[in-house]
Amino acid sequence: MANPIVTDIYTADPATLVVDGTAYIFTARDEAAPGQQQFVMREWHAFSSQAPSNDPAAWRHHGAILSFDTFAWAGANAWASAVMQGPDGRFYWFVSVDGRTDNGWMNIGVAVSDHPLGPYRDAIGGQLVSDATPNSSSLNIDPTVFIDDDGEIYLYWGSYWAPRAVRLQDTMTALDGRVFTPSGLTCFWEAPWLFERDSVYYLAYASNSGAGCVTDSAYACVRYATADSPAGPWTHRGVVLDQVSSTTNHPAFMEFGDRWYMVYHTADAPGGGNFRRSVAIDELVFNPDGTMRKVVRTP
């Protein structure tokens, strides 16, 4: 068996987390009907494995763990998310949802739980990031959160060519300082993912323009950049994943044992499409100089 790793439902926008020898993948769920040309996304699901691979049998499906109904201020659109264990040991789920307010179409909220699989509750009672946030993105979606060795916490997000970043307070539920625009993210479109390896910081993101990527500008590849600091400045390094069968893409990465993995989505499941996507995983290999080899997709 091989990718996609989930075939009984349609899944998209993966996020990864490794805790106590267990790998977790958190996904949004696509519920669009066959032929429906819009996103229908109401909830997030969780999958776990003690031996991650692209074999569906390696993953346990825990069902729907969170929905936009968790947030009383939200009205629709359970889009991309990220889960991170905070300094207090609890788990914080950063989500993209329709805020149903005057603060813009899509907002970022936060849920909290004592366990990766929940139950989760709204940690704030409102938006962490919205159009009312000074210097927010053109579309406030696709959060990624990173805690550095010095304890500094960073939130990156954004779409429509507008990456944004800010430090978080150690509560994980409030901004710490001003939102800034990171530099050096060549041809950024959306879906950032931030991580560190061997004292090098990596930021991968979806891109639908520029050299090495575009065969059809409606489809996104995944580029990446590196930096000496989580705040940048960033240096573009190239494409790590070519365009796939779905128009959108959303990268996530994790280290498990002595291997690294990239998780993303496609339209490859039976009956799949741009609004009925499927999460896939493949091994990520680094060159001796720390650059990434382009991921070889497992069909």
How far apart (Å, rounded) are the C-alpha atoms in residues 252 and 145?
11
Contacts of 89 (CB under 8 A, 6+ apart): none
Domain presence at residue 290:
no
Percent of the chain with pLDDT over 70: 97
The domain total for the chain is: 1
DSSP3 helix / strand / coil % (the chain, rounded to 5)? 0, 45, 50
Selection from 29, 126, 119 nearest residue 72 by Cα: 126
- pLDDT confidence of 102, banded at 50, 70, 90? low
- Location of structure tokens 């927010």: 136
Picking from 143, 135, 32, the residue whose alpha carbon sits closest to that of residue 83 is 143
DSSP code at position 151: S
Q: Does 3 map to a domain?
A: no
- Structural contact between residues 135 and 178, judged by C-beta atoms closer than 8 angstroms: yes
- Reported as half-sphere exposure (CB side, CA atoms, 13 A), residue 143 has a value of 33
* Residue 103 pLDDT: 65
In a domain, 280, yes or no: yes
Q: Is 67 left (phi over 0), alpha (psi -120 to 50) or beta?
A: beta
User: What is the distance between the alpha carbons of residues 198 and 158, in angstroms, rounded to a whole number?
Assistant: 26
Tell me, yes or no, whether 97 lies in a domain.
yes
Q: What span, in angstroms and rounded, lies between the C-alpha atoms of 177 and 166?
A: 7
Instruction: Answer left, alpha or beta for residue 250, where phi above 0 means left and psi between -120 and 50 means alpha.
Output: beta
Q: So what's the pLDDT on residue 1?
A: 64
Taking the model in full, what pTM does it have? 0.97
Q: What is the DSSP letter of 129?
A: B
Q: Domain limits at 198?
A: 10-284
**Amino acid occupying residue 126:** G
Task: Read off the pLDDT of residues 11-58 as tens digits, 9 standing for 90 and up.
Answer: 999 999 999 999 999 999 999 999 999 999 999 999 999 999 999 999
Say whether 69 sits in a helix, a strand or coil: helix
Cis preceding linkage at 56, omega within 30: no
CATH of the domain at 261: 2.115.10.20
* C-alpha span between 22 and 77 (Å, rounded): 28
Q: Which residue is listed with tokens 């696709």?
A: 142
Given a cut of 70, whether residue 235 has pLDDT beyond it is: yes
Beta strands in 42-140 (DSSP E): 43-49, 60-67, 81-85, 91-101, 104-113, 121-122
Residues 148-183: tens digit of each pLDDT: 999 999 999 999 999 999 999 999 999 999 999 999
**34 within domain boundaries:** yes
278 in Cβ contact with 272 (< 8 Å): yes
| φ, ψ at 220 (rounded to 5°) | -100, 135
φ, ψ of residue 203 to 5 degrees: the values are: -130, 110
The verdict on residue 297 lying in a domain is no
Answer yes or no: is 5 within a domain: no
Q: How far apart are CA 153 and CA 220, in angstroms?
A: 28
pLDDT at 105: 85
**Domain-located, residue 236:** yes
